[in-house]
Amino acid sequence: MTAAPATAVLDRDGLDALVGVLRAQGRTVVGPTVRDGAVVLAEIASADALPFGWGTEVEAGRYRLVPRTDGAAFAHTTGPQSWKAFLHPERERLWSADRRADGRLSVAAERPQRPSYAFLGVRPCDLRAIAVQDRVLATGRHRDRGYQERRTGAFLIAAECTEPGATCFCVSMGGGPAAEAGYDLALTELVDETGHRFFVRVGSDAGREVLSGVPGRPAGPGTESAARAAVDAARERMGRAMPPVDLRTLMGDSLEADRWDDVAARCLTCGNCTMVCPTCFCTTTEEVTDLTGDHAERWQRWDSCFDLDFSYLHGGPVRASARSRYRQWLTHKLSTWYDQFGSSGCVGCGRCVTWCPVGIDITEEAAALHDELAARLRRQDEREEREP
Amino acid sequence: MSEVPLPYRVTRVRPETADTVSVALAPAGEESLAPFMPGQFAMVYAFGVGEIPVSVSGIGDHELEHTVRSVGAVSAALCALRPGGRIGLRGPFGTGWELGRAAGRDLLVVAGGIGLAPLRPLVTAALAAPHAYGRLNLLVGARTPDDLPYAGQVHAWSASHGPPYCQVTVDRPAPAWRGRVGVVTTLLNGAAFAPGNTTAFVCGPEVMIRVTARELVHRGLAPHRIRVSLERNMRCATGHCGHCQLGGVLLCRDGPVIGWDRAESLLSAREL
C-alpha cells in the first residue's frame, strides 16, 4: 500500500466533493460566503456557497465587494469576522447554579455537545491568529475547556493569499501569504489558461485521509510552481507595512508619547478593532437569573478594552481617557502580549484598519510613535553632547 | 477547582468597620478547595449577583476567612451574608506573599486600611514560626480610627511588647484618639529593622503602596525585597478574560503579589 500523495489538484467539483466528505464525517463546514454586502463566515452546505466571482476593495475605514470576471473563490481579503467567532464564541454559558428552598447551592458546569468544525478558506494570517489564541486560551496553568474542545476537533483548510488587500501587512509582522503550519490541508487557487483549479498540500494525517476520499488528480510540477509563483507575488504586493523596528521595545518606550493624544482625538473608542481582531480574546461575565430567583446562570461574552467598564475598580475606571484605552490596545497587541503569552498579538490581517469607522491605521500609528521616539532620542543625544 | 464555584457555608460574620465585614467560610459539602497560601485570592460568588476576587484574610484548618468592603453589587451582597448563608468559591488563585523566601530576615508588614486583610494570614504565619524570622514589624494606617479593620487584635498587638511590633496611625483622628496621626510611612522611624536584611510586605491603596515602597528603597531595601499586592478588575482569575492586565502583568496569574522591582514602572505610568 502506498501513502496518498502530499499534493493534488482539485477543480471546482473537487472542492465541492471535499465539502461533501467533511459533511459526511459529521462536521460543520464553515467557509466564506457573500451576505449583506460582505464576505462573512457561515456554515456552508456545498462549495457553491463560496464567494466565486467576488473580490474586495478595502482601505482604512472602507470595505466594498467588487465582482470579478475570473470567477475566483478566494480572491477576497479578510472580512469582518474571524474564526474566533466559532472557536471562542461571542456568548457562552459557563455554569448554571440553583438555590434550593433550604438555601443550599448547587453549581453545574456547562458540558454541551461540541460541534466538530471544518473551516474552509482559513487565511495564513488567520492560521497564525488561531495559534495565538491557542497560546492564550489552551496553554498555561488554566485552560479554557470549551475553546480547547472546539479547537481540538476542528479541521483547518487554509487558502493561501494571491490577492492581498490594501490594508494587509502580514509580511511585516513576520508572516506572509503562504500557509506554513497548523493546517490540515492548504489550497492555492489558480485561474489561468490551464483553467480554474486548486492546488492542495497535505499538512496532517487527518488532511491526507480526507483528501484520499476526494476525486482529484495528481499535481504536476507546472501547477505547483504556478501556485508558488502566485503566492510569492502576493508577498510583494502587501498594501501596508509596519515600520521595520522592534515594535515591542517601541511600545514599551512610548507610554508617555504625545501621539496617544493625537489618536485619541480621532478614536471613537467604539471597540470595532477589538471585535474584528482575530486574536483579541477578552471577555466579561454576566449573571442572569430567572423569574423565581432560584436559578442563575453565568454567561461569558466578548468584551473590549475600549469599554469604560473594562477597567472598572470601586470608584471608577482605571483607564478613563481615550488616550489610555487606545494605548492599552496597541501596546498590548504589539508589546505586552510577548510578556503575557510569548508572542506578538498582531498577525497583520488588516481588519482593524479596514473596519475602523474613522480609518485609524495601526501601521500609521506605530510609524508615528517610532518617529516621535526617534526625535526624542535625537534631542536627548544632542543635549548630552552639549552638556557632557 | 478553577472552573465552577464550590459551595461554601458561612460559619461566622464579624463586622469590622461601618462598611467592612469578615466572613468565615467552611465547605458546604465533602469537597473543599486546595489550601490557600497567605496573599492568594479566591473568586467569591454571590448567587444571582456575581463574582469578585477577594484575598484570603484568614486561613484555618477547615475554614477560610474573607474580609469584604461593600463597594459594589457583589461586595454588598457578601457583606449582607448571615451565618448559614451559602456562597460559591473558586481558587486558590495567584501568587502569595512567599513568606518562606524571607526566612532569617526581618519582616516589615505595612498595611493601609483594608489592605491589612491580605496581610493578616501572613502575620499569623510569621507569629506561628517565631524562630524562622527576625523582627516582625507591623505598621498600620487607616483613614480614621473607625476605619481600622481587626481593631481589637491590632490594638492588642500595639499594646503588647510584640511580636508583632505593631504601630498604628490614622489620617484623621477622632476626639478619643490618643494614637499617632499621619500617613503610614511616618511610622517607619519607630520600626526596628535592618534594611539590608529585611523583606517588606505592603498592601493598601495604590498611592500608599507607591509612597511606602519608594521610601523603603530610599532607606536601603532592595526593590525585589518589597512585595506589594495589587488590584485590578477581574472576571475569570484564570488568565483568559484580559481584565486584570497591568502592562505585561496578568495580575490573576503573575500577581496579585509582585515585587516592587516589577511593580514600580507599572505604578508610575498614569492610567496603565
| A77 assigned to some structural domain | yes
DSSP string, A335-377: IIHHHHHSS-S-----HHHHT-TT---HHHHHHHHHHHHHHHH
Closest alpha carbon within chain A to B254: A340
Instruction: Flag if B271 and A339 touch (Cβ within 8 Å).
Output: no
Give the domain-ending residue among A169, A200, A235.
A235
ipTM above threshold 0.95: no
pLDDT per residue as tens digits for the range B257-268:
999 999 999 999
Rounded distance, CA A10 to CA A74, Å?
Answer: 14
Instruction: Flag if A339 and B247 touch (Cβ within 8 Å).
Output: yes
Q: Which three cell numbers stand for residue B171?
A: 489620617
Per-residue pLDDT at A310 exceeds 80: yes
| A177 assigned to some structural domain | yes
pLDDT per residue as tens digits for the range B140-197:
999 999 999 999 999 999 999 879 999 999 999 999 999 999 999 999 999 999 999 9
| A37 assigned to some structural domain | yes
pLDDT per residue as tens digits for the range B10-26:
999 999 999 999 999 99
Residues A273 and A205 in one domain: no
Local confidence band at A263 (pLDDT 50, 70, 90 cut-offs): very high
Q: Which among A99, A105, A283 has CB closest to B235?
A: A283
- A241: closest CA of chain B, how far (Å): 25
Instruction: Give the number of domains in chain A.
Output: 2
Is residue A321 within 8 A of residue A308, CB to CB? The reply is no
Residues A219 and A252 in one domain: no
| A82 assigned to some structural domain | yes
Residues A280 and A368 in one domain: yes
Q: Which among A107, A312, A331 has CB closest to B233?
A: A312
Give the domain-ending residue among A182, A210, A235.
A235
Quick check: helix, strand or coil at residue A227?
helix
| A361 assigned to some structural domain | yes
Residues A231 and A256 in one domain: no
φ, ψ for residue B125, nearest 5 deg: -65, -40
- A305: closest CA of chain B, how far (Å): 8
Per-residue pLDDT at A343 exceeds 60: yes
Please count the helices (runs of H) and the strands (runs of E) in chain B: 6, 15
Which residues in A lie closer than 8 A to residue B271 (C-beta atoms)? 318-321, 323-324
Residues A336 and A381 in one domain: yes
Residues A187 and A68 in one domain: yes
| A240 assigned to some structural domain | no
Instruction: Flag if A324 and B71 touch (Cβ within 8 Å).
Output: no
Run of H or E including A86: helix A84-87
Residue range A260-276: mean pLDDT, rounded:
98
B→A interface, C-beta within 8 Å: 2-7, 28, 45, 47-51, 69, 71-72, 75, 84-88, 231-233, 235-236, 238-243, 245, 247-250, 253, 269-272
Burial class (CB in 10 A: 0-12, 13-18, 19+), B175: exposed
Cβ pairs A/B, distance under 8 A: 130
Give the domain-ending residue among A204, A235, A266.
A235
| Pairing, β B106-112 against β B136-142 | parallel
Domain housing A357: 247-386
| B183 CB-near residues (< 8 Å, 6+ apart) | B141, B169, B171, B208, B211
Rounded distance, CA A354 to CA A81, Å?
Answer: 12
Residues A41 and A175 in one domain: yes
Residues A191 and A47 in one domain: yes
Residues A123 and A150 in one domain: yes
- At A114 the pLDDT is 80
Residues A75 and A177 in one domain: yes
| B240 CB-near residues (< 8 Å, 6+ apart) | A136, A137, A142, A144, A281, A283
Residues A204 and A251 in one domain: no
Residues A154 and A15 in one domain: yes
What structural domains and CATH numbers belong to chain B? 6-93 (2.40.30.10), 99-268 (3.40.50.80)
| A99 assigned to some structural domain | yes
| A2 assigned to some structural domain | no
Which residues in A lie closer than 8 A to residue B7 (C-beta atoms)? 104-107
Per-residue pLDDT at A4 exceeds 80: no
The mean predicted confidence, pLDDT, of chain B is 96
